[in-house]
Structure 1
């Protein structure tokens, strides 16, 4: 899996985001493009320490750990996977504003590529820096494919 820490992958993601516009339609799922851009900010902000997610109960944490490798491996995520409750977006979002905020978060995350220690994910636990980069790329790629870019 590519990593958002790689310069080429970082540029690729930004280029794909720039292909989106206010009338871009999803090929699956319920989100409008502005909602998708807002949704994609959550994992980046969580990694950057700008968003706090409630820790799951022990049973859910065990369940999340069983899916951990799927967060960063080379297998593409399937369409219409359920979204974690804290990341569901129902309100209409402004495309231009959310695009700008997402691009800033992507750049901020990419600029942390030399960081050697990351706080554990509240649901999945410890990730290596390499796994963090792959996970962020994989999530963005999933939603950019959702919108055909």
Structure 2
């Protein structure tokens, strides 16, 4: 079975890793600092859950590209590419802020997967996704960024 954030045991493991993050942690790759990564991940979860105002109508892909990429990403436990592009709405440009508050909100959003329900969600590249696909993507996205900062 492919790892998913919908699995309570894996979600708890992810949250323990999030709690290990330090505000001064250095990335192993990429240009984000620890605050930017935490806020990016918090925004990613808010986007998926529909917390706040989000435009789910923007697409960066064709239906064929979306279907092929989604099938590939959700097929197994292969990690995300190191320099995968992000939705522009999830890019954090401010260099610093309240790390602890952002991390706490991120954890709250991760805990919301206990009862995930946002039928309106449409990914800006992968298009419409099942809850199972969302759970796999959310796990991989979080794991990717935690590994980026060595946790």
Q: TM-score, normalised by structure 2?
A: 0.83
Residue correspondences, number = 145
Check 1:125–1:141 CA distance in 2 against 1; reply closer, same or farther (3 A cut).
same
Correspondence 1:5 to 2:9? no
- Which whole-Å CA distance do the structure 2 matches of 1:32 and 1:71 have between them? 26
Q: 1:26 matched to which residue of 2?
A: 27
- Which whole-Å CA distance do the structure 2 matches of 1:136 and 1:25 have between them? 22
Q: 2:40 matched to which residue of 1?
A: 39
Q: 1:127 matched to which residue of 2?
A: 129
- Which whole-Å CA distance do the structure 2 matches of 1:42 and 1:61 have between them? 24
- Which whole-Å CA distance do the structure 1 matches of 2:10 and 2:32 have between them? 24
- Which whole-Å CA distance do the structure 2 matches of 1:131 and 1:77 have between them? 14
Shift of 1:3: 0.9
1:39-60 CA-partner distances (Å, limit 9, x unpaired):
0122321221224135235x73
Query: Structure 1 stretches (4+) deviating beyond 4 angstroms?
Result: none
Check 1:68–1:104 CA distance in 2 against 1; reply closer, same or farther (3 A cut).
same
Shift of 1:4: 0.8
Shift of 1:93: 2.7
Check 1:86–1:71 CA distance in 2 against 1; reply closer, same or farther (3 A cut).
farther
- Which whole-Å CA distance do the structure 2 matches of 1:146 and 1:70 have between them? 21
1:45-91 CA-partner distances (Å, limit 9, x unpaired):
1221224135235x734344442224433221121222222211110
Equivalent of 1:102, from 83, 97, 106?
A: 106
1:111 alignment partner, SS class: helix
Unaligned runs of 5+ in 2: none
- Which whole-Å CA distance do the structure 2 matches of 1:95 and 1:143 have between them? 15
Check 1:40–1:2 CA distance in 2 against 1; reply closer, same or farther (3 A cut).
same
**Contact 2:79–2:144 (8 Å) recurs in 1:** yes
Per mean C-alpha deviation after superposition, the further-off stretch among 44-53 and 136-145 is: 44-53
Unaligned runs of 5+ in 1: none
Correspondence 1:79 to 2:82? yes
